[in-house]
Amino acid sequence: MIQKRILSGMQPTNALHLGNYLGALKNWVDLQNQGDYECFYCVVDLHAITMPYDRDNLKKATREVAAAYIAAGVDPQKSVLFPQSAVPAHSQLMWLLATMAQVGKLNRMTQFKDKAGKNAENAGLGLYAYPVLMAADILIYNATHVPVGEDQKQHLELARDLAATFNTRYDVEHFIQPEPYIMGDTTRVMSLRDGTSKMSKSAESDMTRINLTDDADLIAKKIKKAKTDPQPVPTCTEQFEGRPEAKNLMTIYAALADETMDDVFNKFGGQSFADFKKSMIDVSVAHLEPITTRMNDLMNDVTEIDKILAEGGEKCNAITEPFIDQTMDIMGFWKS
């Protein structure tokens, strides 16, 4: 039987936000605690440099993302937690896969189009090849499942595709085709200011998102200012029609309070958004404050995080080095 293995990652660019937490990180912790999977959680620092970044902040941002993983419940005794750059086989496999990745498919990647914007001619090759590195991150562990938010589905398709292309080209069963693991109702957490666009680290206004580093006052301020509409809180799903902000806030509430949407309709349906928001602030602060406090504690003395990351990197190198050798052997490379 194939060992069920999870791999996922987040970029150390700006602070993690509620979308990262509800769309992915919270699920990582659940999967880890189910005990059915071997879990690998990566801080994808090589991906973070595909857009302009602050060299002086990269190390801190990497530690901060690791601290967020741990604070949210990733347990280094149960899961392997590591920085991507500490495991050279990710980059090595990326090159091998890049020779098989079709330009036509990369051209269709919506994240590249969004990030490159109008100036695609000036975008770096790294940004274009981002999905190939992501495929390498996954395939180098032969991960069976990849818990991510909805926005990463297209990248996952490419990883599946590259695994199949390699196996067919070399007539082997070397790579497993990974399954996306897109869980729950919060696979797309939307901006607090516009219910039709995704909550994102790169949105200009910080008021569009709740960061895992925000304190209680800031969380309260952001929720109070979150966009709603003049109608009362919906009483059923049909009333979400044309009201993306209402849907988003209620979805976030349900996830943080660990309640069903029916519970939320029963509790708040027909009331004013002002009242709903008061409860939403309470629930958000109660859920997020312990995470932020633990993150801050970990960041006050980074020796523990550095030790965890170094040990994680070593474990990954022990797994990936023989696997990259095997991969190159299949491809016909010379070896002494």
138 binds ligand TYM (CB under 6 A): yes
Of 4, 78, 105, 115, which residue is the catalytic one? 115
149 binds ligand TYM (CB under 6 A): yes
Strand locations in the chain, DSSP E? Answer: 5-10, 38-43, 79-83, 145-147, 179-181
Strand, coil or helix: 49: coil
Is 201 part of the annotated catalytic residue set?
yes
Of 4, 59, 105, 201, which residue is the catalytic one? 201
Identify which of residues 124 and 297 has a Cβ nearer to ligand TYM in the complex.
Answer: 124
220 binds ligand TYM (CB under 6 A): no
Identify which of residues 137 and 245 has a Cβ nearer to ligand TYM in the complex.
Answer: 137
Q: For ligand TYM, which stretch binds (CB under 6 A), given 9-17, 91-99, 245-253, 279-287?
A: 9-17
Q: How many helices (H) and strands (E) does the chain have?
A: 14, 5
Q: How many CA atoms lie within 13 A of 219 on its CB side?
A: 22
Among 45, 64, 137, 245, binds ligand TYM (CB under 6 A): 137
148 binds ligand TYM (CB under 6 A): yes
Identify which of residues 177 and 272 has a Cβ nearer to ligand TYM in the complex.
Answer: 177
Q: How many CB atoms lie within 10 A of CB 284?
A: 23
Residue 147: beta bridge partners?
181
Closest among 70, 85, 59, 83 to 29, alpha carbons compared: 70
Query: Minimum CB separation from ligand TYM for residue 27, in Å?
Result: 9
Contact 184, 25 (CB under 8 A): no
Q: How far apart are CA 280 and CA 272, in angstroms?
A: 13
Query: Minimum CB separation from ligand TYM for residue 112, in Å?
Result: 11
Among 50, 92, 152, 248, binds ligand TYM (CB under 6 A): 152
Sheet containing strand 38-43, strands side by side = 79-83, 38-43, 5-10, 145-147, 179-181
Q: How far apart are CA 29 and CA 74, in angstroms?
A: 5
Q: How far apart are CA 165 and CA 160, in angstroms?
A: 9
Strand, coil or helix: 160: helix
Query: Minimum CB separation from ligand TYM for residue 260, in Å?
Result: 19
Burial 12-29, CB ≥16 within 10 A → b, else e: bbbbbbbbbbbbbbbbbb
Query: Minimum CB separation from ligand TYM for residue 255, in Å?
Result: 10
In angstroms and rounded to an integer, the radius of gyration of the C-alpha atoms of the chain is: 21
Q: x/- binding map, residues 247-266, to ligand TYM, per CB under 6 A?
A: --------------------
Among 5, 63, 145, 198, binds ligand TYM (CB under 6 A): 198
Identify which of residues 116 and 269 has a Cβ nearer to ligand TYM in the complex.
Answer: 116
Identify which of residues 94 and 305 has a Cβ nearer to ligand TYM in the complex.
Answer: 94
187 binds ligand TYM (CB under 6 A): yes
Q: x/- binding map, residues 34-73, to ligand TYM, per CB under 6 A?
A: ----------x--x--------------------------
210 binds ligand TYM (CB under 6 A): no
Contact 82, 315 (CB under 8 A): yes
Closest among 196, 188, 192, 256 to 226, alpha carbons compared: 192
Site of interaction with ligand TYM (CB under 6 A): 7-11, 19-20, 23-24, 44, 47, 134, 137-138, 146, 148-149, 151-152, 155, 187-189, 198-199
Which residues have a catalytic role annotated?
115, 198, 201
